[in-house]
Structure 1
Amino acid sequence: MLQNNSLLAQLKQNIRASTPRVQGTIKATDKGFGFLEAEDGTSYFIPPPAMKQVVHGDRIEAVIKEDGDKKQADPETLLEASLDRFVARVQKRDGRLAVVPDHPSINLSLKARLKRSLEESDIADGDWVVARLIRHPLRPDDRAFFTQIDELVVKSEDPAVPWRVTLARHALEQECPPAADAWPLKDEGLVREDLTAEPFFTIDGEKTRDMDDALRVEATDDGWTMTVAIADPTAYVDESHPADKEARTRAFTVYLPGQNITMLPEALADDLCSLKPDVERPVLACRLQVGHDGTLGEYRFFAATIRSQARLVYDAVSDWIDGEPNAEAPAAPIAEQLTALAELSRARAAWREANTLVFKDRPDYAFDLDDAGNVLGIRVEERRIAQRMIEEAMIVANACCADLLAKEVGHGIFNVHHAFEPEKIDQALEFLAAQEIPAEREQLSELSRYREFRRALDAREDAWLDVRLRRFQGYTSMSARPGPHFGLGLPAYATWTSPIRKYGDMVNHRLIKRVLKSEVAPVEASQQLTEQLTERRRLNRMAERDVKDWLYVRYLGATLDQGEVYDADIIDIRRGGMRVRLIANGATAFVPAPLIHSDRTQVAIDDKEGRIQIAGEPRYQLGGSLRVKLVEAREATRSLVATPAE
């Protein structure tokens, strides 16, 4: 009778409607309790018993209960589970199967079953798998967490664990794509100029195999004529080819320490399309004029065949240009061009310094690995003159591509970057006003106004201000339509110089060829494609970072007993401490609040302002530096823990 009582049902509905509820995201702690971070920034405490119903990252709706001045959240409804597809380690105990998610904030053993296609004898304790959450306590009719193991990623003893696990976590391909039986040249309706007698050259890293750009530089009375010749995979792969469909899915070559997962089959990327010396290769080329003052003049795109006459290496070229003792001089026709290219790049850099934007160089860090994947050492790779020469050549070539596509086609694959996210401009203006820095909305949203504003900020040389502003700044995305690139200070930017490694560049190659053949261009790239390219680039960068973090922990963890002290930059300040980057090797480490000072009560952390005080005195801030000592290396979370050494 009670079940059908309309008054009782109405009463329940009224009680529910009057009970305060909040939606937000679960933030777990290593002490059993957690917090619900509401969408308005408010944080609500969740006691340990209630945390057993949720995991870190779940989006939920919770009932808010008040006890005096204290408010706590009681999880009620699951909006979005943080664990859907995830990587985990197998746990076998007394015949029971479970998985432990590979996540720094989730330390739970979840019951599991095997997918029917898997054999239990093939899965051992400690192995790495891909699992899927199929039951959640907050879902109707589910009483507990339960998972299914869908895929064995790698055995626990395999030395390739860091690479395999990372690729699986980001759902990236583990192997290079398969090759076709033959690769016939498809040049219907395209005339190629014969440039095989001209002394083109390449400059790459010592271990580079997919050489995709070659140059020819000539000094003129007005400046320089430069021909940029780019490998032409679309000469072998049309849009109906299986290799193109696979490249479209992969979007980019994945570069990891010690391993590359190519976008195109290796037979194309590392052989047939690679601009190796002394072999003929089809290319798409741009011949352009650069004035003595660095201004870009006329340009012309065309198809050609070249034969590179020299395979040069960055360090060797830099040594020779810088006049290092014992530097080997290239052959005369190449040496003359290198001198001209160095002058051209300096002129272009000066022009960009005056008319666009130039950001400070940051060093790269390279891992030396043995065959088993063990780190032998970490090298700092500074950007030298040879890298800058190639960078300037590629920037000007890509600017030409953007101009051509914008004028002749109206669409393509463009790299668009806005200085500030549109929805964060008001916050940025408020922050700048608090720092007594006058700024107008147009200075943050219009390229021509932003250039001068950015130069004024750079002149302050305020590292704290620069890092704080990054919280409001935008990211580069792919767009089918031309748009400004605030990071380079250019009205439009479209890359075509890496078609072996980037699918968007293959798309732009095909559009350029349409222009050369006077064909009507196809419809513009879909939003789905540009979003996919943007997302895959993000995943690739995360995968590279994650593998490096794993290798850093293994390598530096073995040196903890040496007590080495490192110079470090402060890159983030949170309520629980600060993140720093070690200048010597690029590793990041976390300095927990309890290790910042012996008396925790003396430490005041302002994570919003990015500053830390000790005993009321300013001590650390974003963009600042300090000396630290590593005290712990946690391979389970791929994290390093440090303490100030001052």
Structure 2
Amino acid sequence: MQNALLKNNSLLSQLKTQLRETTPRIEGRIKGTDRGFGFLETEDGKSYFVPPPHMKKVMHGDVVKAVLHEETDNKGQARETAEPEELIEMGLNRFIARVQKVQGKLAVVPDHPSIKQAIKGKAANGLDEKNLTEGDWVVANLERHPLKPNDTSFFVEVTQLVAKSDDHYAPWWVILARHNLPREQPVIDEDWTLTDPEGLVRQDLTSDNFFTLDSESTLDMDDALAVTPRSEGGWVLKVAIADPTAYVAEGSAADLEAKLRAFTLYLPARTVTMLPKVLSDDLCSLVENQRRPALVATLTLDESGAQLGSTEFSAAWIESKAKLDYLKVSDWLEGIGDWQPSSPDLAEALKALEALAAARLAWRHNNALVFKDFPDYRFVLDADGKLVDIVTEERRVGHKMVEEAMLLANVCAANFLTEKAGQGVYNVHQGFDSEKVASAVELIAEQGLTYHEEAFTPENLDTLLGFRHLRLALDNLESGWLDARLRRYQGFSLVSILPGPHFGLGFQGYATWTSPIRRYGDMLNHRIIKAILAGKTPQPIDESLPEQLTAARKTNRLAEREVKDWLYARFLEEKVGERFEAEIFNINRGGMRARLIANGAAVFIPGSSIHAVKDEIMCDADNSWIKIKDEVQYRVTDKIQIELTEVKVDQRSLIARISA
């Protein structure tokens, strides 16, 4: 009898093994919901229901292998469900969370809109668990996962206290911790001594009438300008750029830290510098009436804004004669306000720079590309870190004067680096993605867009001139919808150590060197320029650098956006029910996203609040429009009136509806 039972158990085990081996399996990523169930989404776009019991074994974002089952839903219809059985990649590893005490014991809730469960854990060695209270922000690592071998549940280790629950500055600390970014300036104990390469000679240009033009609060002033009208028409423009490489030797502690940070990080009401502030705000900053080392580009322009001859680069000593403010200078040039230049020479120089900038803008309209201006939004905080206002700052004549000078200087640097070294840190943009340009041409043809009756083709869009003609044709359209659609077929701006065109700006080459205090790539371009001026062969640039700089730039932009989203939610929490003008910038299958004109905040407008009858509305992400009863009612770039209906501060989410 016992042998028969053993035999039957063996047969049953074999049967189960056979059934399991023949049961279909799939791989995909888990998408959780706030109702306990979830979905497994595959790379080919299919979605499978994951019942609540199985969701307890996985986390939103996990990549898993799952067994497929056929079940009948509560409506009697057959459907396939997924049972996760093997973990391929965890959706959570290191993450930000809030402390939650469960029966007096430590647990954390991930700071993620799709993950709500509290996960039990412990404090790491060196972190006192008694200091962790309800609602505190922490960094945690997921140590155990139910789908890992020998694990039966989720469990975390809390490694860092980021901010207390009542800290007004939590948005900054949390976002910086999320992206592993530093909170403060570099701390480097060094006797800063100016050291130039052997053979480099610095000209004494301290008598030239250089001035800086920045925001009033700027301390890290890295560019100064001197402009002189020519008797035969046009101007001589000198662009002086601060030279931190005079103090930061290649391979030094400050250099390695700058390379790691890659950029100065600009967050609302907080700046985290790439270099120690003793350099960025003092020794290297082009402070008024202080002798400073600089690299100087000297350019000659005719009255149309075209450059005459080549650019002369030199190492120099300069002394800024005035620290000027964008807004005051703009007021003076526009004939308003009380501010006046301190001397007739300065007044003449500002008038000359205004004329030069206007000529360069016209030149770019005719020979390159010009995009419309967008305002900046400044976040105003009180002494306790509470957001009290968001101020719109339009780009005025003072900003544009400096912008034109910097654009021109960076084009000249690209030409110089390409001719003299064949390498540098370039910003390149190839226009349309080669795999998408055919689709772009098809869309352009559908819309009947031409330039002077000339059709656009993949061949002419692969040239700077053809791309420029497309931009000019798009600028003449009343709606920005087609422009927004076509941007989806374009490539991204990339960092390259080899020369290449920048289609987005309309330039044959573009290499920034005008912000070496704030950008590591600009420091490298300074070193190459200085080596050339000293008669040396520049060191080859590490081939991995472009990828590192591109990744760092992306991370910094994400951090800036996430801090702003949090502050917007705080600021608008008390404005639910108010109406705003907005511009649609994205449409997806769930609704649309729009940006408030008044302050730049992004709101989501669900499809259900756009039109009540679900079967009559279609939110078409591919075409960037929304149809109601088969008629296009809304497109990306349309201006709409909205009413703010809900603010979820914890999720940094703003919900709105169309306002009648």
TM-score (norm 2): 0.92
Match of 1:263, SS? coil
Matched, 1:637 2:641: no
2:272 corresponding residue in structure 1: 261
Partners of 1:428 and 1:62 in 2: how far apart?
38
Shift of residue 280, structure 1, vs aligned partner? 0.6
**Structure 1 residues 79-478: aligned runs within 5 Å:** 79-189=88-198, 190-220=200-230, 221-297=232-308, 298-324=310-336, 326-432=338-444, 435=447, 439-478=456-495
Aligned counterpart for 1:509 among listed residues 526, 534, 539: 526
Q: How far does the alpha carbon of each residue in 1:45-88 deviate from its partner, in whole angstroms, 9 at most, with x for none? A: 33333322222222233334455764433323322222111111
Contact 1:222–1:291 (Cα < 8 Å) also in 2 = yes
Q: Following TM superposition, by how much is the alpha carbon of 1:601 offset from its aligned partner in structure 2, in angstroms? A: 4.8
Partner Cα separation in structure 2 for residue 131 and residue 86 of structure 1: 5
Determine if contact 1:442/1:450 at 8 Å carries over to the other structure. Answer: no
Aligned residues, how many? Answer: 642
> Which amino acid in structure 1 is aligned with residue 56 of structure 2?
K
- CA gap of 1:114–1:218, structure 2 versus 1, over 3 A, is same
Please tell me whether the aligned partners of residues 179 and 267 of structure 1 are also in contact (alpha carbons under 8 angstroms): no
Task: Note closer, same or farther for the CA distance 1:10–1:520 as it changes in structure 2 (3 Å cut).
Answer: farther
User: In structure 1, what is the Cα distance between the partners aligned to 2:29 and 2:462?
Assistant: 31
Query: d(CA) in 1 for partners of 2:38 and 2:627?
Result: 26
Which amino acid letter does the alignment assign opposite residue 178 of structure 1? V
Match for 2:42: what amino acid?
A
State the percentage of identical aligned residues: 49
Q: Which amino acid aligns with 2:122?
A: R
State the alpha-carbon separation in 1 of the partners of residues 53 and 301 from structure 2: 69
- Contact 2:328–2:337 under 8 Å retained in 1: no
Structure 1 residue 334 displacement after superposition = 1.2
What secondary structure does 1:497 align onto?
coil
Contact 1:100 1:108 in 2 (8 A): yes
What amino acid maps onto 1:428 in structure 2? A
1:589 paired with 2:599, answer: no
How many angstroms apart in 2 are the aligned matches of 1:448 and 1:14? Answer: 64
- Cα deviations by residue, 1:142-170 (Å, 9 ceiling, x for unpaired): 22222111111111122211110010011
How much has 1:114 moved relative to structure 2?
Answer: 1.4
Measure the CA separation in 1 of the matches of 2:500 and 2:301. 24
Tell me the residue number matched to 1:72. 81
Q: After superposing the two structures, state which structure 1 stretch, 62-71 or 99-108, moved more.
A: 62-71
Distance 2:40 2:448 in 1: 35
Contact 2:197 2:534 in 1 (8 A): no
What amino acid maps onto 2:610 in structure 1?
I
Question: Is 60-69 or 300-309 further displaced after alignment?
Answer: 60-69
CA shift digits 1:261-296 (9 cap, x unpaired): 000001111111111111111101111112222222
Q: What is the CA–CA distance in structure 1 between the aligned matches of 2:31 and 2:419, rounded to whole Å?
A: 50
**1:320, distance to aligned residue in structure 2 (A):** 1.4
* Cα offsets for 1:242-271 (capped at 9, x unmatched): 111111110101111111000000111111
- 1:258–1:373 Cα contact (<8 Å) kept: no
By how many angstroms is 1:2 displaced? 8.9
- The match for 1:533 is 549
**Structure 1 position 557, deviation (Å):** 0.7
Contact 1:369 1:377 in 2 (8 A): yes
Aligned partner letter, 1:75: P
Match of 2:558 in 1: 542
Give the AA of the match of 1:634. Answer: K
The structure with the largest alpha-carbon Rg is 2
Instruction: Tell me which residue corresponds to 2:452.
Output: none
Tell me, yes or no, if the aligned pair for 1:179 and 1:266 is still in contact at 8 Å.
no
Between the aligned partners of 1:101 and 1:444, the Cα distance in structure 2 is 46
Whichever residue aligns with residue 385 of structure 1, its letter is: V
CA distance in structure 1 between the aligned counterparts of 2:68 and 2:53, rounded to whole angstroms: 16
1:365 match: secondary structure: strand
1:454-501 Cα deviation digits (max 9, x unpaired): 222332343222222232222222111111211111121110000000
1:134 alignment partner, SS class: strand
What residue number does 1:558 align with? 574
CA distance in 1: counterparts of 2:113 and 2:644, whole angstroms: 19
CA distance in 1, matches of 2:178, 2:596: 26
Quote how far apart the aligned CAs of 1:376 are.
1.8
In 1, are the aligned partners of 2:369 and 2:468 still within 8 Å (CA)?
A: yes
Q: Which sits farther off after the overlay, 616-625 or 98-107?
A: 616-625
- Residues 1:32 and 2:36 aligned together: yes
C-alpha RMSD of the superposition: 2.4
Residues 456 and 466 in structure 2, CA contact (< 8 A), matched pair in contact too = no
Partner of 1:138: helix, strand, or coil? coil
The answer (yes or no) to whether the contact 2:432–2:490 under 8 Å persists in 1 is yes
Distance across 2 between alignment mates of 1:571 and 1:84? 32
Aligned residues of 1:26 and 1:55 also touching (Cα < 8 A): yes
Measured at CA, do residues 420 and 148 of structure 1 come closer, stay the same or move farther in structure 2, by a change above 3 Å? farther
User: Compared with structure 1, are the counterparts of its residues 375 and 76 closer, same or farther at alpha carbon in structure 2 (3 Å cutoff)?
Assistant: same
Paired residues of 1:210 and 1:274 also in contact (CA < 8 A): yes
Instruction: Using the TM superposition, give the Cα deviation of residue 578 of structure 1 relative to its aligned residue in structure 2, in angstroms.
Output: 1.3
The question of 1:524 aligning with 2:512 is answered no
TM-score (norm 1): 0.94
Q: 1:38 to 1:219 in 2, by over 3 A?
A: same
In the TM superposition, what whole-angstrom CA distance separates every residue of 1:394-450 from its partner, at most 9, and x where no partner exists? 011011111111111111111112223344434434544554556422344433332
Q: Distance in 2 between matches of 1:144 and 1:157?
A: 31
CA gap 1:444/1:3 in 2 versus in 1, 3 angstroms: farther
| Letter paired with 2:174 | V
Within 1, Cα distance between the matches of 2:104 and 2:443? 58
Residue 627 of structure 1 is matched in structure 2 by 641
Matched, 1:579 2:596: no
DSSP-derived class of the 2:257 partner: helix
- Cα deviation code 1:321-380 (max 9, x no counterpart): 122254524421111111111111111111111111111111111111112111121111
> How far does the alpha carbon of each residue in 1:81-115 deviate from its partner, in whole angstroms, 9 at most, with x for none?
22111111111122221111111222221111211
- Checking the alignment, whether the CA contact within 8 Å between 1:478 and 1:530 is kept in structure 2 is yes
